[in-house]
Structure 1
Amino acid sequence: MLTLRQIEDYLRRLGLERQRPTREFLFALHRAHVERIAWQTIDIFAGKPVPIDDEGLVHHIIHQGGGYCFHLNGAFRRLLCALGYEVSLHRAGVQSHGQKPRINSFHVSLSVRLPIENDEDAKPQTWIVDVGLGDMPYEPIPLRFGVYKQGFHTYKLTQSGVITPGWRLEHDPQGIFTGVDIDPEAVQNMDEFIPKHHYLSSSPDSAWINLLLVQNRHKTGSNELRGCVYNRRDERGLIKNEITNRSEWFELLSDVFGEPLNHFSKHEKDGLWTKVLKTHEEWKRNRQNRDQAGEME
């Protein structure tokens, strides 16, 4: 359980004051979280992953840090519980483009059951809550099959084809992945996800070891930093910018994504920038070689 000081500090980072656990406050918490606390692989890319099984995680999130699903949903669940919400953890799996749907515990999702406040004949409502999916969703999605429009993205909640009963949240066609399948059976704690986190944060086969990716959402669009390429997307389309100036790159991390990297020393920041720029230059060379090979065919 979070201490009173931790709750206050967490809410301060979200720019909110404590309220009773209502639907409206849940939505405000979710919106603030995806706006202010970035989905990111910075720490993994830099070789200093943040654990997900101790108090250091909450401290990291509170004091200007971000992370990926295990960090973000793991910490958010603890905040919601401390605020009086009924929260469940769920095994899940993200389907990237070209992959089959799966539930492999490489993603953790949340559901929140809200009590009825006024209508005695109404049933309690359950919401899918997920602040750990980068560019989706902006607000909780009701656990009711249907289509849901949020800003420039449209999501669809359907029956999962991986597990019965189960839930599948399909991403907007413009999204960076296809969807996520969720096991409706709740798990008691984060223990099951610790080996998955260890693999994703330290295995040479992990996709995140050599990919710096930072994302956040806002009401009408999303931001993404992929190496040195800054992508902004909204209903008008996609704008790309290449950021290869060191100062501009770190300012972007701090100002747009809320990642001042206070937990990095100057030496660690220098190493991070060297690796980012090297990886970006290699990516550009590989892309140029592919383009030239395509012209010769």
Structure 2
Amino acid sequence: MLTKEEIKAYLMRIGIADIQPPTLSYLFELHRAHVRSASWQTIDIVAGRHTPIGVHESVQLLSSGRSGYCFHLNGAFSELLRSLGYQVAWHRAGVQPLGQEPRINSFHLSLTVTLPDEHQQEQRWIVDVGLGDMPYEPLPLEMGSYDQGSFLYKVTPSGVARHGWRLEHDPLASFPGVDIAPEVLTTLDEFQQKHDFYSQSLESPWHQLFLVRQRHATGSNELRGCVWSRRELRDTVKTEITTQSVWREVLADVFQEHLVAYSKEERDDLWNRVWSLHEEWKRAKAAVKE
């Protein structure tokens, strides 16, 4: 559990002023603030930094003005929620990439929160601040369709986990969905090997993919290398960024990412690597057109 000072530091990081009792409305406020303020990102992976996924290390990561990907974000958020009095459960999950089959392979940590409803009956909520551009608010663990800003989500039974559930992404989004197993985990040991692969292996899909994603009330932002995609309602505008100064401004102003753990030399090295990867991507794209 976090101390009161640690809770305050975390809440300040995501722009929440007050500690409140564990209500549904406060859970929604926390979730919205978290996805707006703490982006999903592969920055440390591209930079060659291995960042631990223990909950206390992840809380320190967030509180110091940094961020990470699902294991860090959902791990830290679950610790904050527990410290505030919420009943939180960890679940194995798997994100389905475009063109591939659904799976539960522990490459994603999913959360549920149980709260009493207006009739004092327990109701479970899907809580996930570690999926980048989904969702903006908690979703009830009830089958159906849910509209959040410019995104339409569906909660359906999972086809790959008995008694599990699936969160389907918007049809125009970056991946089809995520499947979640119903069993409740008591440690994060299940995810350590996966994290080691994603963050350190040269075969990791993120080893050379600089990717930052963030949700807000009416849409989302993504910075993929040097391409900034802004989605509002059903429209997406893409902008190529060609200078480090603008790239840094977008990271800071849009994604709240100030690269606080990087020296000037390291920030320059990171930009040069990202720009080199971007030019390589453009050459490959041009070759395909030919």
3-state SS in 1 of match to 2:95: strand
Distance 1:142-1:54 versus aligned 2 partners, 3 A rule: closer
Instruction: Supply the distance in 1 between the matched residues of 2:235 and 2:2 (Cα, whole angstroms).
Output: 41
Unaligned runs of 5+ in 1: 293-297
Q: Which residue of 1 aligns with 2:106?
A: 105
Paired AA for residue 3 in structure 2: T
Instruction: Supply the distance in 1 between the matched residues of 2:25 and 2:111 (Cα, whole angstroms).
Output: 17
Q: 1:162 aligns with which of 156, 160, 166?
A: 160
User: Is the deviation greater in 58-67 or in 85-94?
Assistant: 58-67
* Post-superposition offset of 1:54: 5.9
Q: 2:134 aligns with which of 129, 133, 136?
A: 136
Instruction: Kindly indicate whether the alpha-carbon contact (under 8 Å) linking 1:41 and 1:213 is maintained by their aligned counterparts in 2.
Output: yes
Instruction: Supply the distance in 2 between the matched residues of 1:199 and 1:216 (Cα, whole angstroms).
Output: 24
Query: Does residue 3 of structure 1 match 2:6?
Result: no
Instruction: Supply the distance in 2 between the matched residues of 1:252 and 1:52 (Cα, whole angstroms).
Output: 27
| TM-score for the superposition, normalised by structure 1 | 0.95
Query: Does residue 228 of structure 1 match 2:226?
Result: yes
Paired AA for residue 53 in structure 1: G
Q: Which residue of 1 aligns with 2:279?
A: 281
Query: Does residue 39 of structure 1 match 2:40?
Result: yes
Instruction: Kindly indicate whether the alpha-carbon contact (under 8 Å) linking 2:95 and 2:104 is maintained by their aligned counterparts in 1.
Output: yes
Instruction: Kindly indicate whether the alpha-carbon contact (under 8 Å) linking 2:41 and 2:212 is maintained by their aligned counterparts in 1.
Output: yes
Q: Which residue of 2 aligns with 1:179?
A: 177
Q: Which residue of 1 aligns with 2:19?
A: 18
Instruction: Supply the distance in 1 between the matched residues of 2:147 and 2:132 (Cα, whole angstroms).
Output: 17
Instruction: Supply the distance in 1 between the matched residues of 2:129 and 2:183 (Cα, whole angstroms).
Output: 20
Deviations 1:122-180 (Å, cap 9, x if unpaired)?
A: 42110000000000000001010011110101111011000111101111101100000
How many residues in Structure 1 have an aligned counterpart in Structure 2?
289
Paired AA for residue 15 in structure 2: G
Distance 1:164-1:170 versus aligned 2 partners, 3 A rule: same
Instruction: Supply the distance in 1 between the matched residues of 2:176 and 2:256 (Cα, whole angstroms).
Output: 27
Deviations 1:48-91 (Å, cap 9, x if unpaired)?
A: 13111263321111111111100000000000000000000000
Paired AA for residue 213 in structure 1: L
Unaligned runs of 5+ in 2: none
Instruction: Supply the distance in 2 between the matched residues of 1:14 and 1:46 (Cα, whole angstroms).
Output: 24
Q: 2:208 aligns with which of 210, 218, 224?
A: 210
Paired AA for residue 249 in structure 1: W
| TM-score for the superposition, normalised by structure 2 | 0.98
Q: Which residue of 2 aligns with 1:147?
A: 145
Paired AA for residue 13 in structure 2: R
Instruction: Kindly indicate whether the alpha-carbon contact (under 8 Å) linking 1:223 and 1:230 is maintained by their aligned counterparts in 2.
Output: yes
Instruction: Kindly indicate whether the alpha-carbon contact (under 8 Å) linking 1:53 and 1:194 is maintained by their aligned counterparts in 2.
Output: no
* Post-superposition offset of 1:18: 0.8
3-state SS in 2 of match to 1:184: coil
Instruction: Kindly indicate whether the alpha-carbon contact (under 8 Å) linking 2:55 and 2:72 is maintained by their aligned counterparts in 1.
Output: no
Instruction: Supply the distance in 2 between the matched residues of 1:87 and 1:37 (Cα, whole angstroms).
Output: 20
* Post-superposition offset of 1:15: 1.4
How high is the sequence identity, in percent, across the aligned residues? 56
3-state SS in 2 of match to 1:289: helix
Q: Which residue of 2 aligns with 1:295?
A: none
